[in-house]
Amino acid sequence: MLGVNNLNLKRLAAFFPTLKVTARGNEMTVIGEGALIQRFEEKFNLIVQHYHKYNLVSENDIANLLSDEGEKMIGKIHDAEIIVHGNGGLKVRARTINQKTLVQAVDKNDMVFAVGPAGTGKTYTAVALAVRALKAKEVKRIVLTRPAVEAGENLGFLPGDLKEKLDPYMMPLYDALRDMIPPEKLADMIEFGIIEIAPLAFMRGRTLDKAFVILDEAQNTTSMQMKMFLTRMGMTAKFVITGDMSQIDLPHKQKSGLAYALDVLKGVEGIGVVRLNQNDVIRHELVKRIIEAFDVAERKEKEDNK
């Protein structure tokens, strides 16, 4: 829990610079003003609770737990139920307040937009909710789709049949599914159409009924593609649309269908919108810093262009 070379303890101690904190084996010594020691103990216990729950403590977790909202955060997150049991005893649950808000929004609404930067668990949480719905027989199939837009690269000709050409675009969806469904069972589900992974263009003309449908990387849809997709919704379907407005790969000056939909559908009853942020990043601790650095650079560039 203290991290390699007590790194997590050093991070915690940095928030209390006037205290002297040392650890040997299973014992910790804290020297300083009584009121500060008491506050240190309260915050340390929050981190212990978090570790018992997830068997992991990141720099981002420590920063969140040491904030003024730390106590509220620990209560809200730890009340989160397991979404689905994955492979190897993996328990998939909401790990941040906004991820829990996403779970609640999907339970409450038939259509939910989840918008936020990379690493905030948008797609992963959505896939977990889809697997949960399938296991509970709330839906008969899962449909996962995303626009086949290259991320700033021209991949050119790809060999193989249609599936082999499209699989690289769908890899993040496969990655999430492999955590939650045994490989042999997943292969059978894909073969028999219980789980369908297809590019957005394949949705045209269809009615998606009794299905949990996820549109991933929705920032790379055009306005017409977004309208086409949203109107595929059948009578007993759940739609989750995920995207990151900072990673649009559309041609220059072409408006994102996600931005258009969020604007047009604002206030429409039955549609939920969840906005995740840097505090929800659960990848490597550097990801949060990278996102912040890019945000600062982009704001400066916009100001310079005014």
- The pLDDT > 90 percentage for the chain reads 34
Cα–Cα nearest to 21, from 51, 47, 52, 50: 47
**Amino acid identity of 237?**
A
pLDDT tens, residue by residue, 122-132 = 999 999 999 99
Lowest mean pLDDT among 22-31, 46-55, 139-148, 271-280: 46-55
How many whole angstroms separate alpha carbon 98 and alpha carbon 117? 12
Q: Is the pLDDT of residue 56 over 80?
A: no
Higher pLDDT, 63 or 79: 63
Biggest CA–CA distance in the chain, Å, is 69
Residues making up the chain, counted from first to last: 306
49-64: average pLDDT: 72
Domains of the chain with CATH codes = 4-74 (no CATH), 84-305 (3.40.50.300)
How many whole angstroms separate alpha carbon 118 and alpha carbon 242? 11
pLDDT of residue 31: 92
